[in-house]
Structure 1
Amino acid sequence: MRHEKAGLLLDLARRLAASAEGLTLDEMAQAIGVGRRTVERMRDALWSLFPNLEEVEDPPTKRFRIAGGLDGLFQNPTPEELVELSKAADALRAAGAPARAAALNALEAKVRSAMRGAALRRVGPDVEALMRAETIAVTAGPRPFEDEAVIGAIRESIKALRALEFRYEGGSRPGERRRVAPFGIMFGHNNYLVAAELGSQTPRTFRLDRIADLEVLEITAAAPEGFDLQDFAHRSFGIYQGEGPEAVVLRIAPERADDALRWRFHPSQTAELQADGSVIVRFTAAGMLELAWHLFTWGPAVRVLAPESLRQVMVTELEKALAAHGPPPPCGEGAGGGGVSIEAAGRGDPLIKT
């Protein structure tokens, strides 16, 4: 058997050992990227290699799992895996998330402690070499609020299917106490609790740094059946849901086409290279203000083709910036002369004209 086939078989064994309920043949084939007949042969090979491989009836199909896990011989991590785990912890710590960073460091310590001495000595030099040669570039931006007690209480309520009560110093009713059913947490530049106020099933976002006096209630509460946190996050550009998703169409100039083809504006996007070398990007999202802030980083290389609401948001934000930073008019005169005009922006002309 070639090395790549042996590696694929070991990968499947690890997946079967990591699944408590087991995997169907179709799930196994999809997980490792092979056809149904191939995965059937691989399952048969695993029968002889792992006597603890179990077949679990799950009508109308069957599931398979390796009970009791795998021996440490098959589970030793590679130097690259250990380095990535350590770097992920460093990235969280640099982003202002020490609690989650500590959880990853604890996991790394457990992985290392489970390795046999010879295996640990073998990977040690490679891990140290890679750690010296790679680092995390810290970019400018807000440091998210990361209070271990707040996140711990939210996670406790989600696991126990319990409601939360807290004082919220944000929104339209700052200072009021809220009782909510927690749906999940969205981590990003700012961290948010996604929840619905009791009596409602409409999800809202609550910034964690504006939550105070948090407690878990003895009231049963959970997300409605079928709610998907990832789908909820994908509805918007950033966090704010706004008035509802809109169809966004952007034209990226030819000189930034390569960047645009590699850029992810939104999970639902499509990018089409045009005959003139430009790129048309399309996606559906809410949160036009956050999208406008991002598009300003593209400078004159981006043009908004739709929706009109996004164009108007960009014009409004430009007006605010120019009011704060534009040259003051001569004493006793208007703002004419060498000032800056943006009135053409709403017509589809360049956003800023001097």
Structure 2
Amino acid sequence: MATTELAVTRDCAPRGQARGPCARWWSVLTRKATTTPPSQGRRRAQLTGLLTCILLTAVATLAGRFLPLIGPPVIAILGGALLATAAGPRRRQAWAPVLPVASRWGLQIAVVLLGVHLSLGEVARTGGDALPVTIGTLLLCLGAAVGLGRLLGVHRDLRTLIGVGTAVCGASAIAAVTPVLRPAGSAVAYALSTVFVFNIVAVIAFPPLGYALGLSDAAFGVLAGTAVNDMSSVVAAAGSYSPEAAHTAVVVKLSRTLAIIPICLVLAALVARRDRAGRGSDAPRPVWRLVPWFLVAFVVVAGLNSLSWIPSFIQGAAGGLSSLLITAALGAIGLATDLPALRRAGPAPLLLGGVLWLVVTGGSLGLQALLGP
């Protein structure tokens, strides 16, 4: 009996490559005892990705206070892309399940909160005079984005993001259309970086250009409000010209923000049609299903603010939370970004962004000269 037990034990022992009738069971037991369950490993990796995103948001928000012209969203998405590259594709893939959820919900809630600073009455009063210029530059930019983007071979989603970001309001517009368009993270990172580059150029170049052209305060305010994207940059550019120019520029910028609503509706319809074509289905979706919930909430919040039903302390808190959520969401997109894919995109998207910025700038000046004061 002892001899039999000794033989079985020896037969099951892992000496080199285990042999004998128990070898297979020994290896299974050993593997179970020495490895982490896959589900536990996935949860740990996702938690690490979420904590990394939170830390990145905090760092980008703090850095944005010292670099206001760059802003926390740009810092977050670029920092996230660098971290993702350093972590490697396996870690980025492990983070993947949790990051889109954080970015999608963060962007949608942030868009809703943007409405707390929008007064429809003031936009109608002050922005109404600049409405032809605002609509004209918007249509010129979006049309050029489609035509020139195709000519340069820029991917459909990327040219849409660059066009909307340049035509409307930079990071906020890109944040608004991202949940509708559902582009790749690399496209969002490239579009945001491209718009940011020419936004900084505008802040530096516009005041000397305005003085050289002899623009009035109102005319310069319209130029800054239509051709500078981020709100802090609008204030920086127009504020250095005059307080009156700054006031006009801010109101024109807010009126541009309203363009997010029709643009998102059109994109939602196009994406729905593209999805039906991919599934081989001809049945259209109901119209109400094409309207993103966060756009409805955005309009409701803007309406409440226009009626002065939102206290000032809630406005301040909601504005800060909106900025924080956009930073966190874009940081999550950055952590899921493949930087080599950006390099493979080449210089064409950057060229597209530069031409669109010139189109908006020239269109604003030309339409003001054509339409008069």
Q: TM class, shorter-chain normalised?
A: under 0.3
The structure with more strand, counted as a fraction of residues: 1
Relative to the length of structure 1, the TM-score reads 0.21
The structure with more helix, counted as a fraction of residues: 2
